[in-house]
């Protein structure tokens, strides 16, 4: 359960920052001031209907309330501009403390210069140099899968050219549909153990990533492929992937379908499909895959499944309640059954990897609402869907305000029979 005492202290802190009394806050929410008092003393938690409105009034987010203001930093996932700037300051302080000619400091300088092919001392001498160094650092983190807040980027740089360069690698919400953005931001990726299977027999293959989407799988493969064709019919998703990956000369983005890739006969060594095969016309897709594959070429199908969690049954009930009229494309059919239809029984290998992640509400709901069958933002059902999702989250979140999620990642791979 979440830590109601810490959350109460945080609500009180934010309320006082806004110069609101308990009565003021209660009136704004249409509740009694006694209810506010109980939150702040940790007796209970605002319910989901009120929590979203409370976050708006206090100019914060539900995530920050549920984590009592804690900064949740994901290893290899999130970094802030201030983190990098503090690193520059620490480096300068090291020079002051040890001396410019000390072996310790000189060793650090030489190591950085050799690794980054720069003269870091020259960069740090001027404001312009520090800004350029910060920009290069941010681009490095972005292309390696880290998330950096867009507003921080805006505040950090005076130069429009530098901001534009960085945003080349950063998702831009004004350019892409909300489902594409959510999909890119919140869907978990695939374990490295499964990605390595693609390259076990071919170190530099020509890959066709079918239904490449926002480039989740392509980004994990691009540096190891001779050429990677990203086949994606959805314009919003394709543009987002291109924004992130088009700087790679071996990346070729095509607006096409699994059933008609537009690729040449016998041109592809590896076909990959991540979490999308269930959307295809399986008969036509199999014919197309067979056509474009080289002799002995292989197909790799990937799926993530989120099962084995305490909240699974309750989440499924909400899925059914708010599902759009269309049926889930994989309803009642397992990934293995789909693999059997493509490869034939006993003609493929199966590898599974179990992982566990911890998510904030934004991450939990962002991933859930990115599914094609969930209500769209702006639809009549969306507000209630989000409120009930929040109620489910607060029921099962831990004291740090995070939800534990078990993930089973599947990879089915093999050659195709005629």
DSSP secondary structure string, 266-319? T-EEEEEEES-GGGS-HHHHHHHHHHHEEEEEEEEEEEEE--S-TTHHHHHHHH
From 66, 92, 111, the end of a domain falls on 66
Q: Would you say 110 and 177 are in contact if contact means Cβ atoms under 8 Å apart?
A: no
| Helix (H) / strand (E) containing 407 | strand 403-414
Q: Of 315, 302, 303, 301, give the one whose Cα is nearest residue 405.
A: 315
| Residue span of the structural domain in which 120 resides | 81-170
| Average pLDDT value over all residues in the chain | 84
Global pTM reads 0.63
Which residues have C-beta within 8 Å of that of residue 94, sequence separation ≥ 6? 104, 105, 108
Q: What is the per-residue pLDDT across 333-358, written as a single tens digit (0 to 9) for each?
A: 888 999 999 999 999 999 999 988 88
332 and 227 co-located in one domain: yes
User: In the chain, what percentage of residues exceed pLDDT 70?
Assistant: 87
335 and 291 co-located in one domain: yes
Angle, CA 166 vertex, CA 178 and CA 77 arms, to 5°: 65
270 and 327 co-located in one domain: yes
Q: What is the per-residue pLDDT across 272-329, written as a single tens digit (0 to 9) for each?
A: 999 888 878 788 899 999 999 999 999 999 999 888 899 999 999 999 898 875 555 5
pLDDT for position 78: 66
CATH (domain of 30): 1.10.260.40
110 and 212 co-located in one domain: no
What does the pLDDT average to over 243-251? Answer: 92
HSE (side-chain half, CA atoms, 13 Å) at 273: 26
3-state helix, strand, coil in the chain (%, to 5): 50, 15, 35
pLDDT for position 224: 94
103 and 230 co-located in one domain: no
379 and 322 co-located in one domain: yes
175 domain residue, yes or no: no
Characterize the bridge pairing of strands 227-231 and 251-254.
parallel
From 111, 135, 170, the end of a domain falls on 170
Q: How many folded domains does the chain comprise?
A: 3
73 domain residue, yes or no: no
Helix/strand/coil for 54 = helix
pLDDT for position 203: 87
Helix/strand/coil for 149 = coil
Q: Which residue has the higher pLDDT, 126 or 325?
A: 126
52 and 97 co-located in one domain: no
Q: Of 309, 209, 216, give the one whose Cα is nearest residue 268.
A: 209
Q: What is the per-residue pLDDT across 165-184, written as a single tens digit (0 to 9) for each?
A: 666 545 433 333 445 555 44
């Amino acid at each position: 359960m979440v830590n109601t005492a810490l959350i109460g202290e945080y609500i009180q802190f934010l309320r006082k920052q806004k110069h609101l009394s308990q009565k003021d806050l209660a009136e704004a929410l249409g509740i009694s001031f006694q209810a506010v008092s109980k939150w702040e003393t940790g007796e209970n938690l605002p319910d989901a209907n009120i929590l979203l409105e409370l976050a708006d009034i206090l100019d914060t987010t539900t995530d920050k309330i549920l984590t009592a203001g804690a900064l949740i930093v994901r290893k290899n996932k999130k970094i802030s501009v201030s983190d990098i700037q503090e690193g520059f300051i620490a480096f300068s302080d090291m020079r002051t403390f040890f001396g410019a000619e000390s072996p310790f400091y000189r060793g650090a300088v030489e190591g950085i210069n050799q690794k980054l092919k720069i003269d870091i001392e020259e960069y740090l001498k001027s404001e312009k140099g520090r800004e350029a160094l910060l920009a290069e650092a941010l681009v490095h983190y972005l292309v390696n899968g880290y998330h950096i807040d867009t507003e921080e980027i805006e505040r950090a740089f005076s130069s429009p050219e530098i901001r534009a360069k960085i945003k080349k690698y950063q998702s831009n919400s004004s350019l892409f549909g909300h489902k594409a953005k959510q999909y890119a931001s919140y869907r978990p990726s695939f374990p490295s153990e499964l990605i390595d299977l693609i390259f076990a027999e071919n170190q530099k293959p020509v890959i066709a990533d079918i239904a490449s989407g926002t480039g989740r799988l392509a980004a994990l493969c691009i540096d190891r492929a001779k050429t990677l064709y990203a086949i994606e019919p959805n314009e919003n998703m394709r543009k987002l992937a291109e924004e992130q990956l088009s700087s790679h000369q071996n990346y070729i983005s095509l607006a096409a379908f699994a059933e008609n890739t537009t690729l040449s006969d016998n041109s592809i060594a590896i076909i990959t499909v991540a979490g999308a095969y269930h959307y295809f016309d399986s008969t036509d897709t199999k014919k197309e895959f067979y056509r474009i594959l080289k002799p002995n070429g292989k197909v790799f199908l990937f799926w993530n499944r989120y099962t084995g969690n305490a909240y699974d049954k309750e989440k499924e009930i909400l899925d059914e309640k708010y599902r759009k009229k269309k049926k889930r494309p994989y309803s009642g059919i397992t990934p293995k059954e789909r693999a059997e239809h493509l490869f034939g029984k006993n003609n493929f290998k199966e590898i599974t990897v179990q992982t566990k992640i911890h998510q904030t509400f934004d991450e939990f709901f962002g991933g859930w609402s990115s599914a094609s069958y969930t209500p769209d933002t702006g639809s009549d059902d969306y507000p209630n869907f989000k409120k009930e999702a929040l109620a489910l989250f607060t029921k099962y979140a831990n004291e740090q305000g995070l939800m534990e999620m078990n993930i089973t990642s599947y990879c089915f791979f093999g050659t195709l029979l005629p």
